[in-house]
């Protein structure tokens, strides 16, 4: 299908909206009526046609506006994009990975012509047509990682692998769920996960690291993570907490369905060939609760998940104070009927809401 790109904002007047298409393909993260951490990794090998899993780097109706928001964040705070000196090779790996995959998956939007190291990249939605020399930094307006991630939705953590650990040595991070690249740069896997409650005791990170160290070329992996965000803000960074944190106090029963968003990250993991680094694209999808509950199964299930979530997790995810308000809203959409297993909407088989 041809994508109709939205003209919308993720700040100030918040004109961000999901179309019916975007609502139905939203990556709902709960496969059952409860949630606990797990190393919920699976192979990133496509998915149902039209779903966010179908392509390796999903492009949707928010693409152009998200890239505009990223440019605004970078103009205010250039440290959102950093690459330590030994990570330039990984940047070229990432540029190649994205250009090759996007031009293969979306030939009507992106074109890549390669003649040896002479490359030409055409990005039609963003009106870019650049010719450059692969592996020659001087031939691009930015470093290779910054160049390609200014044109690709999602945050990117580029992890060096050494000493049986992963190191946050490069990244482009402007759409994050309250973590900071500038704070984490140079840290290893255990250091940057230190703030997460419960999971350490459960051994989740040891197992996750072991899995990630063994992600191999040709065999990418993926998982979902989630949190809650008031207003469709892409940039919920610690750097700007003074701007967005206060917005959490603006919820009322009347505006909650419109302002409270479920925020889901599709995290994928690729081994980069020349540098042996790992790249960890973190793609953020937002959905207003009033849109989410138009899928009856999701309305029922989200109410049960939020209701039964351990206090530590609701605190860490930043919505413990608003949980009663959120539950009041969501309970209207939970009639107590059972839900079908799995994450899909099942609109044809799940009953409508019984009032």
Partner 1 sequence: MSTDLDRLHVVVTAKVKLNDLVTRFEFVHAGGKPLPPFSGGAHALVEMRDGDVTRLNPYSLMSDPLDPSHYAISVRRDDAGRGGSVFLHDKVQVGDRLNLGYPVNLFALDLTARKHLMIAGGIGITPFVAQIKQLQSTGGAFELHYAARTQALATYADALRAAHPARVNLYLDDQNQQIPLERLLSGQPPGTHVYVCGPRGMIDWVLTTAHALGWPPEAVHFEEFLAPQPGMPFTVELAQTGKTICVGEHESLLEAMEREGVDAPYLCRGGACGQCETRVLAHDGTFHHHDHWLEEHDRNGRKIMPCVSRFEGTRLVLDR
Residues lying near partner 1 in the complex (CB under 8 A): 86-87, 89, 93, 135, 160-163, 214, 216-219, 273-276
223 catalytically annotated:
yes
CB of 90 to partner 1, least distance (A): 8
User: Among the options 223, 263, 283, 300, which is catalytic?
Assistant: 223
Q: Closer to partner 1 at the Cβ: 5 or 211?
A: 211
3-state secondary structure the chain: CCCCCCCCCCCCCCCCCCCHHHHHCCCCCCCCCCCCCCCCCEECCCCCCCCCCCCCCCCCCCHHHHHHHHHHHHHHCHHHEEECHHHHHHHHHHHHHHHHHHHHHCCCCEEEEEECCEEEEEECCCCEEEEEECCCHHHCCCCHHHHHHCCCCCEEEEEEEECCEEEEEEEECCCCECCCHHHHCCCEHHHHCCCCCCCCCCCHHHHHHHHHHCCCCCCCEEEEEEEEEECCCCCECHHHHHHHHHHHHHCCCCCHHHHEEEEEEEEEEEECCCCCCEEEEEEEEEEEHHHHCCCHHHHHHHHHHHHHCCHHHHHHCCCCCCHHHHHHHHHCCCCCCCCCCCCCCCCCCCCCCCC
Q: Closer to partner 1 at the Cβ: 271 or 303?
A: 271
Active-site residues, by number, are: 223
């Amino acid at each position: 299908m041809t994508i109709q790109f939205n003209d919308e904002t993720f700040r100030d007047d918040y004109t961000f909206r999901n179309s019916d298409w975007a609502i139905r393909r939203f990556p709902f993260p709960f496969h059952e009526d409860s949630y606990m951490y797990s190393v919920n990794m699976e192979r990133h090998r496509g998915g149902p046609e039209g779903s966010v899993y179908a392509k390796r780097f999903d492009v949707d109706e928010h693409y152009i506006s998200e890239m505009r928001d990223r440019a605004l964040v970078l103009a205010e705070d250039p440290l959102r994009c950093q690459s330590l000196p030994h990570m330039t090779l990984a940047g070229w790996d990432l540029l190649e990975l994205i250009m090759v995959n996007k031009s293969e998956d979306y030939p009507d939007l992106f074109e890549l012509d390669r003649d040896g190291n002479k490359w030409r990249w055409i990005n039609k939605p963003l009106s870019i047509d650049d010719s450059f020399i692969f592996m020659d930094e001087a031939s691009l307006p930015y470093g290779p990682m910054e160049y390609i991630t200014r044109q690709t939705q999602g945050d990117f953590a580029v992890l060096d692998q050494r000493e049986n650990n992963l190191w946050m040595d490069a990244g482009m991070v402007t759409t994050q769920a309250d973590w900071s690249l500038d704070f984490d740069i140079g840290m290893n896997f255990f250091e940057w996960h230190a703030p997460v409650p419960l999971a350490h005791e459960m051994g989740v990170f040891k197992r996750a690291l072991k899995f990630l160290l063994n992600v191999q070329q040709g065999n990418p992996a993926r998982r979902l993570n989630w949190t809650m965000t008031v207003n469709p803000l892409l940039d919920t960074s610690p750097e700007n907490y003074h701007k967005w944190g206060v917005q959490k106090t603006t919820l009322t029963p009347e505006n909650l369905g419109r302002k409270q968003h479920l925020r889901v990250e599709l995290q994928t993991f690729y081994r980069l060939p020349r540098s042996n680094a790992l790249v960890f694209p973190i793609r953020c999808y937002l959905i207003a609760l009033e849109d989410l509950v138009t899928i009856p199964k999701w309305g029922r299930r989200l109410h049960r998940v939020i209701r039964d979530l351990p206090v530590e997790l609701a605190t860490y995810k930043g919505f413990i104070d608003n949980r009663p308000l959120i539950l009041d809203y969501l309970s209207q959409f939970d009639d107590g009927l059972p839900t079908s297993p799995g994450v899909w909407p099942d609109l044809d088989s799940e009953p409508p809401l019984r009032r």
